[in-house]
Structures are given as structure tokens and as C-alpha cells.
Chain A
Amino acid sequence: MAKKTFERSLQELEGIINKLEQGEITLDDTIKKYKQGMELANACANMLKEAEQQISIYEGNEFIPFNGGGNV
């Protein structure tokens, strides 16, 4: 998948914060990193937005939606 995983994005965000905390970058880079970090934080938050959990069950050689045991 081309989509960045949640974990990767979060790690990247943490890396940016670490870099900013060390403070040894230019003002220009600081602003760049700040923007990048904010975008990552928002992207992470968006990845968590799901109204309903997708639950599938393996049945008869394939995954079908699980409807609370009614499949049995």
C-alpha cells in the first residue's frame, strides 16, 4: 500500500518533535518542520476516524462480514 501507515506517520511526527526540541536547526527549517508535523498530526487523527468496526469471519474459504455470531 502506498498509504503511509499510522505507526509510520506517528514515528515521523515524534522524530520532528525530537529534532525541534534539540533546537539546532534554522528558523526556516523550524517553520518547515512545524508545518510538516501539524500535517502529520492531522493525518493521524483522520486515520482513527471510523464510525463502525469492520469485523470479518473466515467461513467456507473466505472472509465474510461477522454479524455477532448469527453466521453460525
Chain B
Amino acid sequence: MNKKIISVTELNCYVTSILDEDYMLNSIWLSAEISNLKYHKSGHIYFTLKDENASINAVMFAKSAATLNFKLADGDKINARCKISLYEKTGAYQAYIFEIEKQGVGTLHESYEALKHKLNAQGLFDNKKPLPKYPQNVGIITSNTAAALFDILNVATRRNKSIPIYIYPAAVQGEVAKDELIQQIKRANRDNIVDVIILARGGGSIEDLWSFNSEELAYAIYGSKIPIISGVGHEIDFTIVDFACDRRAPTPSAAAEIVFPDTKEIYNKLDAYKKTLSLLAKKKLTTNRDKFEYVVDRPAFKQINKAFEQKMQYVDVLTDRLQVITQTSINNKIYEFNILLKQLEKLSPIATLSRGYSYISKDTQIVSKLADVQIGDDINIVVQDGCIMATIINKERKNGEENI
């Protein structure tokens, strides 16, 4: 029988391959207690899993450790999903941990359902604030390195460049995530710059998204005066945050589609409005003109018009007549005046004088009888062109009667 000699490396390599090929050992849930716990600064966690009778070394690499939503402690009773393989350097087989659940707390899904039920009963999912239709400033709370952020920015830039964006960076997984998210929600409310907040995170396992299933975070969202829309994970992922937010979008991009109104659509809308305005104004003008023409064309209006014209004509006739009457009456008056004037002239002593008569006055009194004057009185004899002064030398009564 030939001796087949292999190296230790070859052995460990062989054993590793056997373990790795085993379907069951590739993903297995272990019930155990933690001991010898060591958080390494690399982010990896080393510990021993044990029960009353046995133990196995375990390692949780940083990538998986980041999904832990609680801090491990020696003595914790846990369920751990892991794969079993060999650490070739020491020949020790060990558990490579993917995820850990605390025992007694129930599964993540159970605790998620319990929290959802509790918060719902407390009314935390009511009182939804409406999102602004046309936000003036948009806030984004997410990791500043996450694909989710760039998805949102891409959509925003494509749809509407006119809206300024304010990014509030926060870790979106791991232990610090919950506190950072809450802090940024409060900060955005204090700043009061943005009028809507997108709370976003890319897709991941239920563990990855676990920070978004926090009761405290739900309360922070509920307490926000600024409306918040969630865009967490993929379409099928629901978190407590989704229920607590004022609106849920299935993905970060979808949240951006909802928040940023499309400039093209608005331009189209504005164009349509302008057309409507012109149309309505034109319609009003046409209606008014038609109404006017309609009224003008109606027989009643025509009759009124005719009557009006006739009246106008009548007014002309009357005016003419008035003129004639007036003129005639004036002429008559002038004629009458002239006659009167002539009569008056006949009565005037001046006219009589012009015919060769004269009158005598004494001290402005007309002398008409013998008794009016005494012998020796001075008298005035008024003739046509002047006055003759004379003195009475004698008086003689008619018919040769005696002197007085």
C-alpha cells in the first residue's frame, strides 16, 4: 500500500472544500449564547457561540456587522444565521455569521409587525400632511455616498432645475443611523429652509433597513412640521418609516418623481392656460359683438331707430317752425313799435313845435290860462329850436272882454 502524503495546507484546503460543498452548512441558524465577545477596530466581531455542552468560534465580518441594530454583549442568547467553514490557518472550524437575532425578542418580522400595530394604535400613521405641489426648496435626508442620493439628484435635475436642494447627510444603516436620521429631521425643522423632505435609502435586507423600523424615528417623523416622503428600499420593502411618513414612494427615484414637478409639464400647462385665456377673452369679445349686432338687427331696435330718426326729423321741422314764428313775432313787434313811436311823436310837444307852434312856461309851469300869469311876469316861449324870454305887458280875454 502506497503512502499518500499531503501537506497540512492541502488537508485544510480539502476539509474546507468538503464543508463548503455541504448545502446545509452553507446557511444554518444556530441557537447559542455569546461569550468572549470582541469588537475589533476593523469592524469585524469575534466571539464564541456556546451552549451548556459545546462551543464554536464565530466571526461576523464588518459588512454583516453593519446590519446589526443592537450591540452584542457577552451572555446574550441569540439566533445566528451562519455558514460553517474552516479557518485554515489554525485548522479550527468556525461559524461565519451573517445575521443575528436576539432570542426572546422574536423575529425581526414579528417585532416589526408588533411595532407597526402599536404605533398605528397610537395614531402615529394618521394626520398626514400634504406635500407641496410646487416646492420652493427640497431637503434630502440620506447617506451622502449612497446611490439613493444620486438617483434622487438625477431625477431632480432631469425634471426641475429651478428648485434648490439641501442635503442633510445621515448614516442609513448600522447603530448610528437611527440617531443621525432623527437629528437631521430635527435640524431641517429648525433650519426651516425646505418645504418638503425626502427620507431615502437604497434597497437591502430587512436587517439593512432595520434603522427605518425605529419607534423613535417614527415619532421624529410624526413631529416634523415639514412633510416627509419616504423612498426606502425597493418596491416590495415596507418599513415603519413608510407608514409614519406623510407619503410613501416605493424607491428613492420614485420619491423624487413625486416631489419635483416636471418643468416640461408645467410649461405645457402654462401654454395651455395662455391659450385658454386668449380663447376666453376672444369669446367674450365675439359674444359681445354678436350681442350688439343681434340687438341692432332686431326689428324692435330697427323700429326704435326709425322712430328715433323720425323724431329727429320732427325736431328739425319744429326748429324751423320755431324760427319762423319767432322771426314773425319779432317783426310784428318792431312794426307795432314803429306805429307806437309814430303815435308818440304826434303827441310830443316837440313835434307840434316843429309844425310852427310854441308853448309858454313860467317857472317851469306851463302857461295855459290867463290866470297863470300876471302883468310883469317873466315867461319863456319855447319854440322848435330854442327859447324866447319875454315879459307880460298886458292880458286880454277872448271875445274882447275886459282886462283882468
Interface residues, chain A, with chain B CB atoms under 8 Å away: 5-7, 10, 13-14, 16-17, 20-21, 23, 27, 30-31, 33-34, 37-38, 41, 44-45, 47-59, 63, 66, 68-69, 71-72
Contacts and interface: CB of A to CB of B under 8 A. Distances in A.
B187 A58 contact: yes
Interface size class of B (residues with CB under 8 A): 35 or more
A71 B281 CA distance: 54
Contact of B270 (A31, A41, A66): A41
Given A23-B284, A56-B167, A71-B144, A50 B162 contact: yes
Contacts of A51: 161
B132 interface: yes
The prevalent SS among residues of B at the interface is helix
A13 B273 contact: yes
B132 A7 contact: yes
Contact of B164 (A6, A14, A56, A57): A56
11 contacts: A16-B277, A20-B276, A23-B283, A23-B284, A27-B284, A30-B281, A52-B161, A55-B164, A58-B166, A69-B145, A69-B150
Contacts of A41: 270, 273-274, 277
B280 A20 contact: yes
Contacts of B285: 27, 30
A37 B163 contact: no
A48 B145 CA distance: 29
A46 to B, nearest CB: 10
Nearest to A54: B164
Contacts of B169: 57-59
Interface of B: 132-134, 136, 144-145, 149-150, 153, 156-157, 160-169, 184, 187, 263, 266-267, 270, 273-274, 276-278, 280-281, 283-285, 287-288
A58 B170 CA distance: 10
Given A56-B167, A57-B167, A47 B162 contact: yes
A56 to B, nearest CB: 5
Given A20-B277, A31-B281, A72-B145, A53 B266 contact: no
B267 A48 contact: yes
A54 B288 CA distance: 49
B165 A30 contact: no
A58 B183 CA distance: 12
Contact of A53 (B133, B157, B284): B157
B304 to A, nearest CB: 23
Contacts of B132: 7
A37 B278 CA distance: 10
A34 B274 CA distance: 9
B143 to A, nearest CB: 10
Contacts of A56: 164-167
A7 B133 contact: yes
B280 A30 contact: yes
Nearest to B141: A58
Candidate in B133, B163, B274 with the most chain A CB atoms within 10 angstroms: B274
Nearest to B160: A48
A24 to B, nearest CB: 11
Given A50-B162, A52-B161, 12 more contacts: A6-B134, A13-B270, A14-B273, A20-B276, A20-B281, A23-B284, A23-B287, A48-B162, A55-B165, A57-B169, A58-B167, A69-B144
B284 A30 contact: yes
Nearest to A23: B284
B267 A37 contact: no
A21 B165 contact: no
Candidate in A17, A27, A57, A58 with the most chain B CB atoms within 10 angstroms: A58
B263 A37 contact: no
A57 B144 contact: yes
B184 to A, nearest CB: 8
A5 B136 contact: yes
Nearest to A57: B167
A13 to B, nearest CB: 6
A71 to B, nearest CB: 7
